Amino acid sequence: MDERKYNMAEEVKVFSTWASPFALRVIWALKLKGVEFDTVHEDLINKSPLLLQYNPIHKKVPVLVHDGKVICESLVILEYIDETWKQNPLLPEDPHQKANARFWAKFGDDKVMQSIGGGVLLKEGKEQEEGFAASMENLKYLEEEIRGKKFFGGETIGLADIALGWLAHYLDIVEEIVGLKLIDQEKFPSLAAWKQEFANAPIIRENWPDRDKLVTKYVVVREANLGKGTPK
Amino acid sequence: MAEVKLLGTWPSPFSYRVTWALKLKGIPYEYFEEDLSNKSPLLLQCNPVHKKIPVLIHGGKSICESIVILEYLEETWPQNPLMPDDPYERAIARFWVKFVEEKGVEVWIKLFSSGEEKEKAVKDSLEMLKTIEEQALGKKKFFCGDKISSVDIAYGWMARWLEVIEELAGVKLFEPQKFPRLHAWMKDFKDEPVIKGNLPGHDEMLVYFKHKL
């Protein structure tokens, strides 16, 4: 049954894949705001013509289509969602606090994800040691930022939480695969507490992708990357 | 109004982004030139995570990362807007800013490699320029329409720093006949009084960056 009210009919579509932590951000944001939407499930090995038409430059998920308007790049989409649907704001009113949220979201993508994904999951030996050390540095900064707060956004989930949220599920998988502990409860007590809080928050906890499937997927990704570096 | 301070360096395009935005919006500020080989205690205190410029300090609070600073300026001083009003148009603007943030740095770094890696970098750079020419800029005078916006500011390094990079890397990427719209944009951008009066010298930059290589 179509639950949309016809006088307020708006069409919201999210192009995503089951595993994408970036698409997950968009799904969280829309659900946190109670926005109805349809999901278009993509297979990245066999991308739909529509995805290629909507995101010709990057050919990636997520893509948000709102009443025919196409927006790409997860953090750009989050800002659009927050400006378009004002309930349960993801960003605070105060410009300095807003800047802070954007800073940490950017830090997460530029530094944290790079060091943990590229530096630890996809490497071994000395290179992995370096990646691990860099990850520890980056996590230290996050620990200092979250200390004394329930979420990076304060009392409620905000933009930075959503941007860093992958740590609350995907990191366990990385740790399991490589056999290293990154967010150690003793080293990073506040960050570990945030991980728990975020992973179990309403909406967030209902949308995690299947853990075992992710392990399988990332083992393959890791082997493929290590295989590339093997001299023939 | 609480005082505004900018920590920057003269050769940095990231630093200029903030200078341009402050001047376009008519925001009074005090500028401090940092020596990156001897970073000031203020810089280290205000940007402990990255220890980089630019840093904006407003009423004692610091904001780091040039693009984050631009958004902050826009929200705090709405006069002479540098972003569109409409959320969708803003999303498009932010998309293109992100594009140059990711691809632009790649250009910088990888052009200074050699052999196959350099060849690939040249190819990728030309593709990037083509995308900017056809998709980002298109038929518009500036990236968001008739007036300078944060997107133009984000791409501003191309109007002055690109030629320096080309010279130092020994590559020719940008040719006016290949990229006529971009060529016109570079001229229009540099003709804007605020930009014209706030660009580093070509020769000085060559010396500075050559020394760093």
Does the bond joining A209 to the residue before it have cis omega, within 30 degrees of 0? no
Segment B114-126, tens digit of pLDDT: 999 999 999 999 9
What residues in B contact A56, CB-CB < 8 Å?
A: 135
Residues of B in contact with A99 (CB under 8 A): 63, 68-69, 71-72
Put simply, whether A73 touches B (Cβ < 8 Å) is yes
Q: What percent of chain B has pLDDT over 70?
A: 100
Tokens of A24: 């997950």
* pLDDT value for B105: 80
What average pLDDT does this structure show over B57-75? Answer: 97
Half-sphere CA count of A230, side-chain side, radius 13 A: 7
Q: What pLDDT band is residue B48 in, cutting at 50, 70 and 90?
A: very high
Q: Which two tokens stand for residue A164?
A: 């860093």
pLDDT at A230 > cutoff 70: no
Query: Each residue of B107-150: pLDDT tens digit?
Result: 778 899 999 999 999 999 999 999 999 999 999 999 999 999 99
Q: Using pLDDT thresholds of 50, 70 and 90, give the confidence band for residue A222.
A: very high
Residue A8: predicted pLDDT: 56
Instruction: Assess whether pLDDT exceeds 60 at residue A5.
Output: no
Amino acid code (one letter) for B170:
G
ipTM of the complex: 0.96
Q: Determine whether A126 is exposed, middle or buried from the number of CB atoms within 10 Å of its CB (0-12, 13-18, 19+).
A: exposed
User: Which ranges of chain B does DSSP label H, i.e. alpha helix?
Assistant: 13-24, 41-46, 66-76, 87-110, 115-131, 150-155, 161-169, 180-191, 193-196, 202-212
Q: What is the mean pLDDT of residues B37-65?
A: 97
Q: Which of A121, A85, A79, A92 is nearest to A226 (CA)?
A: A121
Q: Tell me, yes or no, if A140 comes closer than 8 A to chain B by beta carbon.
A: no
Burial (CB count within 10 angstroms: exposed 0-12, middle 13-18, buried 19+), residue B170: exposed
**Residue A44 half-sphere exposure, CB side, CA atoms within 13 Å?**
11
Is pLDDT at A177 greater than 60 in this prediction? yes
Return the biggest CA–CA distance within chain A: 64
A2 pLDDT more than 80 = no
Using CA atoms, how far apart are residues B68 and A101, in angstroms rounded to an integer?
A: 10
Residue A187 forms contact with B (CB below 8 Å): no
Q: Is A137 on the interface with B (CB under 8 A)?
A: no
- Phi first, then psi, for residue B22 (nearest 5°) are -60, -45
Please name every residue paired with A109 in a beta bridge, in sequence order, or none if there are none: none
Crossing angle (nearest 10°) for helices A95-107 and B66-76? 160
Rounded to the nearest angstrom, the minimum Cα separation between B6 and chain A is: 15
pLDDT digits (tens, 9 = 90+) for A16-63: 999 999 999 999 999 999 999 999 999 999 999 999 999 999 999 999
